[in-house]
């Protein structure tokens, strides 16, 4: 298993819009990606957000990460992409 760790910054005054985009668009799209196992999205609700997305293989995680990096949020979106990194899962509880 592999995870993608994503960090975003929320644009000032647009946290509610960012949350709607997350629940209405980002989560459903993520669930449809090949190899997607599970995802957790979290943040402070004001200025920063994170995602930890689990994929069944390194190849699928790296492809998803590349897609996220290249097609990430646009200039008009309520968030800005800060980082997208892929890691091997070492242990789970």
pLDDT digit string, tens, across residues 5-23 = 999 999 999 999 999 999 9
d(CA 69, CA 76): 16
Going from the C-alpha of 22 to that of each of 8, 44, 70, 87, the distances in angstroms are: 12, 14, 18, 23
Whole-model pTM: value is 0.94
Each residue of 49-93: pLDDT tens digit? 999 999 999 999 999 999 999 998 988 999 999 999 999 999 999
pLDDT digits (tens, 9 = 90+) for 39-56: 999 999 999 999 999 999
Question: Domains in the chain and their CATH numbers?
Answer: 2-88 (3.30.70.100)
Is residue 2 a contact partner of residue 54, using CB atoms and an 8 Å limit? yes
Cβ–Cβ contacts within 10 Å for residue 64, how many?
21
Q: How far apart are CA 9 and CA 7, in angstroms?
A: 7
Residue listed under structure tokens 């800005």:
80
């Amino acid at each position: 298993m592999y995870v993608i760790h994503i960090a975003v910054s929320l644009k000032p005054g647009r946290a509610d819009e960012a949350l709607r985009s997350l629940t209405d668009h980002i989560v459903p799209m993520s669930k449809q990606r090949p190899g997607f196992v599970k995802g957790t999205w979290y943040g402070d609700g004001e200025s920063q957000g994170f995602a930890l997305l689990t994929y069944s293989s390194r190849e699928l995680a790296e492809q998803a990460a590349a897609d996220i990096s290249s097609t990430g949020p646009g200039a008009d979106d309520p968030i800005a992409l800060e980082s997208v990194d892929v890691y091997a899962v070492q242990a789970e509880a």
